[in-house]
Homo-oligomer: A and B are copies of this chain.
Amino acid sequence: MDTLKVDLGNDLSYNVHIGELGNIDFSNRKVAIITNPKVCGLHITKLTNKLKASDVFIISIKDGEQYKNIDTVNEILNNLFNHKLDRKSVLISLGGGVVGDICGFVAGIYQRGIDFINIPTTLLSQVDASVGGKTGINNSYGKNLIGLFNQPKAVHIDTIFLSTLASREYNAGMAEIIKMAVAFDLEFFNWLQSNTINNDENLKKAIKKSIELKIKIVQEDEKEMGVRAKLNYGHTFCHIVEMMSNYTTYLHGEAVSIGIIMANTLALDIGLITQNEFNQILSLLKMYDLPTKYYIKDIDSFYDKFFLDKKSMQGKISFILPINIGNSTIKDDITKQQIQKSLLRYNDYANNIN
A interface with B by C-beta (< 8 Å): 28-29, 54, 70, 74, 77-78, 81, 84, 86-88, 105, 108-113, 134, 136, 139, 141, 144-149, 223-224, 307-308, 310-314
Contact of A141 with B81 at beta-carbon distance under 8 Å, contacts A110-B146, A111-B310, A112-B147 already known:
yes
Residue of B nearest to A307 (CB): B84
| C-alpha spacing A176/B337, complex, angstroms | 58
Contact A145 B111, beta carbon cutoff 8 Å: yes
Residues of B within 8 A of A224 (CB): 112
Contact A314 B88, beta carbon cutoff 8 Å: yes
Contact B314 A54, beta carbon cutoff 8 Å: yes
Residues of B within 8 A of A111 (CB): 145-147, 310
Contact of A109 with B314 at beta-carbon distance under 8 Å, contacts A74-B70, A84-B308 already known:
no
Of the candidates A29, A88, A141, the one having the most CB atoms from chain B within 10 angstroms of its own CB is A141
Selected contact of A134 from candidates B112, B134, B147, B311, CB within 8 Å: B112
Of the candidates A29, A86, A141, the one having the most CB atoms from chain B within 10 angstroms of its own CB is A86
Contact A136 B149, beta carbon cutoff 8 Å: no
Contact A86 B314, beta carbon cutoff 8 Å: yes
Residue of B nearest to A111 (CB): B310
